Amino acid sequence: MSTGWVTLALDRPDGTFTGGDVVSGEVAAKWRTQARAVRVHLDYVETAALGTSVRVRGPHVVLPGGDFGRRRFSLTLPRDAVPTLRVLDLATVTWRVEVRVDRFGPDDRAGGDLTVT
């Protein structure tokens, strides 16, 4: 899971979880940079033809900045996490892990959907 020069790798490559599971992994930059902070969060999102909207803000962690090359993270899905719902090809409602590298200039992001059963 990556966009631009930031990559996100989960410890469970299949991305399948249940409520209460720990979502952990590593966020890395292709080139070292100075970052103010690295923010990782889980959100319950709805994706449809009109775009993506956050329905529930989930747990988050702010990792230290400084000389950024790679950082490990760990977050816990809520025990009552609603399972992933796919409605034909019209919409998906699921949990998503998002990473934002807060640096001087434009912030960089990476993320991906989880399958919650």
Q: How high is the pLDDT of residue 56?
A: 84
Rounded CA gap, 28 and 113, in Å? 18
User: Using one digit for the tens of pLDDT, what is the confidence trace for 4-34?
Assistant: 778 899 999 899 999 999 999 999 988 878 8
Beta bridge partners of 62: 39
Q: How high is the pLDDT of residue 1?
A: 59
Q: Is the pTM value of this prediction over 0.95? A: no
Answer with the residue of higher pLDDT: 66 or 117.
117
Q: Where are the domains of the chain?
A: 2-116
- Residue whose tokens read 């959907």: 113
Q: What's the pLDDT band for 88 if we cut at 50, 70, 90?
A: confident
Which of 2.60.40.640, 3.90.1150.10, 3.40.50.2300, 2.70.50.60 would CATH assign to domain 2-116? 2.60.40.640
Closest CA to 21 of 74, 60, 59, 76: 76
